Amino acid sequence: MFDTGPMSAAPAPYLSRDDLAGRLPAGSWQRVVYDEFAATISSPVRPFPCVFGVKGFETDQLRYLFIDDEAADPDGPAADRLAAALGRFVAEARSFGPHASLVAFFRPGRVAAIEEYRARMWGLLAALARRDAAPWPAEIPAGTDEALWEFCFAGEPIFVVCNTPAHIARQSRRSSTFMLTFQPRWVFDKILGTEQAAATSFAKVRRRLVAFDMLPASPDLGRYGAPETREHRQYFLDDANRPAPACPFARLRDTDAEVV
């Protein structure tokens, strides 16, 4: 739907909030899923738990990508579109502000079982890794079962959040369509720069989760780098508080050799 040609000549493949009104026709799937997202994240009555995402929305630092494919084939055109957009986003994100994130919506399809969406997310992340020509950052372990592991693309560590229509009890991870949010690691590093700031922010998020979701905060949530924390468990939270399954990849590079 959007041109993803050379960065020097083509318009950005994603939109800002201010761009959306004139680009998305009323009643289109893109407008419907965006309006739902906007209403959820900006509600003054039911504050959304992710205070970082709320701030990014309020200040128009988020960017929105609409992929006209429901991503049932994680290694198909959706991955090509997402890789092109994510590479450009990484290059431009710091100019958007300290709360920048890329929100990718996929065309709605049938509502699948929750584990199908988990597999879809990992399939897409592995497909992105295969399309990434940049070296893996030296400071980030390659193995997913490490406390400091994070998904990386174009040389940038990125925290990933998956929302799906199959999430009911965990409303903070619900969307009317398959949705991925990419938050550069430096967003958290700036906001959570001191122990006091981190403790205050995480306490606020957890208080909001209690009021927002129909179940307690997931035991898989934790501080990046803590010995017991694994980032991959937080990318996709279950709709119950069952322990997250093992990551399907020992590492995301050279996945043909590293599938476990």
pLDDT band of residue 260 (cuts 50, 70, 90) is very low
C-beta of residue 131 within 8 angstroms of C-beta of residue 80 = yes
pLDDT in tens, 193-218: 556 666 777 777 888 898 899 999 99
Q: What is the structure's pLDDT at 198? A: 66
Q: Which of 69-83, 119-133, 186-200 has the highest mean pLDDT?
A: 119-133
Six-digit token pair at 19? 């761009």
More confident residue, 222 or 131: 131
> For residue 97, what are the contacts with CB-CB under 8 A and spacing of at least 6?
56, 59, 61
C-beta of residue 239 within 8 angstroms of C-beta of residue 169 = yes
- To the nearest whole number, what is the mean pLDDT of the chain? 88
**Nearest alpha carbon to residue 90 among 134, 122, 138:** 134
pTM: 0.90
Distance in angstroms (rounded) separating the CA atoms of residues 88 and 246: 31
Q: How far is CA 122 from CA 18, 83, 207, 226, 250, in A?
A: 31, 14, 29, 23, 12
Three-state SS at 31: helix
C-beta of residue 231 within 8 angstroms of C-beta of residue 150 = yes
Residue given tokens 């990014």 in the structure block: 56
C-beta of residue 118 within 8 angstroms of C-beta of residue 78 = no
Six-digit token pair at 90? 């990484």
